[in-house]
Amino acid sequence: MNRASRHFFSDWWWTVDGLSAATVVALIGIGLMLAVAASPAASGGPHTEGNFVFALKQVIFAAIAVAILFGASLLRPAQLRSVAFVVFVISLIGCVLVLFLGSETLGAKRWLDLKVFTLQPSEFLKPSFAILAAAILADTRPAPLPRPAITALVLTPALIILLLQPDVGQTFLLLGMWGAMLYFAGLALKWVWAIGGGAAGLATMAYFLFPHVQHRVQQYFHPSEKGYQAGLSLKAFAHGGLLGVGPGAGTVKYRLPDVHSDFIFAVAGEEFGLWLCLIIAALFCVLTVRMLLRAAESKDPFAQLAGAGLAIVVALQAFINMGVAINLLPAKGMTLPFISAGGSSLFAVALTMGFALALGRQRPQVELQKTRLSPAYGGAR
């Protein structure tokens, strides 16, 4: 484990961003703790006995996610591009299959039933598109179209398929990440505003086309009606107060739908109190800022753009989930990264952070000089 060792694990250990990796492990640990707390409510009810089946599944999913995280963090930039391309294509195919073979829930088709667990292919579009868009935007070779237009052509099929499912939340996550990456790439501000206007137009169209979107928005802006889920979530936070009612002692969670996934933040508020909610929010802030700083420190435009895109999409998703839980935003079926129960979300966010860690790996300058000058250190890299 010394710096002179050429073993792949020691090489990874000394070059990976330890703070980001430790923050991710902490979030996954909190997620497992909350999965245990939410599992009886998710598998049972106010008058029926629950079990810990969701918690057991989450432990297995977490072990797989850690393996994905570690494996992806070992990739080099050229390998990242290839893996991202394969993941993006497979995810698109999976999203198309969902339209024909997917299980329908509340009028939406987003999941493929694989018997062992349900897979949501759209979750993997985000990290893979971030890498592909960064590779396109950072490429300096002549192209028949402007680079932003090429990224738009790559993104458009994904957006169309997501709106057909429909999955408005994932659609706007992808749009938000894409717009941020174009801004970081130096796109003229007038075009950034144009993209923002297009997104606003798309949001207006979604409001009139999809009844569930219209219902949630109207419910959110109603002067007195909070909505069933949002109202129960706020009651959970009020019941927990500053210190919480204690692990397993929550009662509101038994009436809250999707308590183990979309509203896991409310479980944290009820059973552990405001202090754990603040820790979770602080960890996401630390992770986001660290990833952005790591991207800014890189001298490779591809790593800068990809790292920033991956940071933005994780931060946006976390903000939306926590915002919905405290009624800051209209209800939206979106998981809390690393913490919500479910394999698809955890695997996809592990891949996201694996890509980010791979991009942020840095060697000390002395080590870089040795690898360039001395064959004993493995030759030039």
Q: Tens digit of pLDDT for each residue in 277-328?
A: 999 999 999 999 999 999 999 889 999 999 999 999 999 999 999 999 998 8
> How many domains does the structure of the chain reveal?
1
**Cα(158)–Cα(381) distance, rounded to whole angstroms?**
36
In a domain, 279, yes or no: yes
Q: What does the pLDDT read at residue 371?
A: 39
In a domain, 206, yes or no: yes
Confidence band, pLDDT 50/70/90 cuts, at residue 195 = confident
Q: Which domain holds residue 138?
A: 8-363
Q: What does the pLDDT read at residue 327?
A: 87
- Helix ranges (H only) for the chain are 8-15, 18-43, 53-73, 77-101, 125-138, 147-164, 168-184, 189-209, 211-221, 228-240, 264-271, 274-297, 301-325, 343-360, 365-373
Report the sign of the C-alpha dihedral through residues 92, 344, 321, 230, in that order. Answer: positive
Residues 124-134 have a mean pLDDT of 96
Pairing of strands 103-105, 108-113: antiparallel
DSSP state of 255: G
Q: Which residues contact 263 (CB under 8 A, 6 or more apart)?
A: 229, 233, 236, 256, 257, 325
Residues 171-190 have a mean pLDDT of 91
pTM score: 0.88
In a domain, 55, yes or no: yes
Q: What does the pLDDT read at residue 119?
A: 87
Q: What does the pLDDT read at residue 142?
A: 87
In a domain, 348, yes or no: yes
The three-class DSSP label of residue 146 is coil
Confidence band, pLDDT 50/70/90 cuts, at residue 374 = very low
Q: What does the pLDDT read at residue 381?
A: 37
Higher local confidence (pLDDT), 304 or 203: 304
Residues 44-51 have a mean pLDDT of 67
Whether the per-residue pLDDT at 240 is higher than 70: the answer is yes
Residues 112-117 have a mean pLDDT of 79
Residue 103 bridge partners (DSSP): 111
In a domain, 140, yes or no: yes
Q: What does the pLDDT read at residue 367?
A: 44
Whether the per-residue pLDDT at 230 is higher than 70: the answer is yes
In a domain, 372, yes or no: no
Residues 37-41 have a mean pLDDT of 86
Exposed e or buried b for every residue in 162-184, given b needs 16+ CB within 10 A?
bbebbbbbbbbbbbbbbbbbbbb
In a domain, 76, yes or no: yes
In a domain, 318, yes or no: yes
Whether the per-residue pLDDT at 72 is higher than 90: the answer is yes
Q: What does the pLDDT read at residue 223?
A: 56
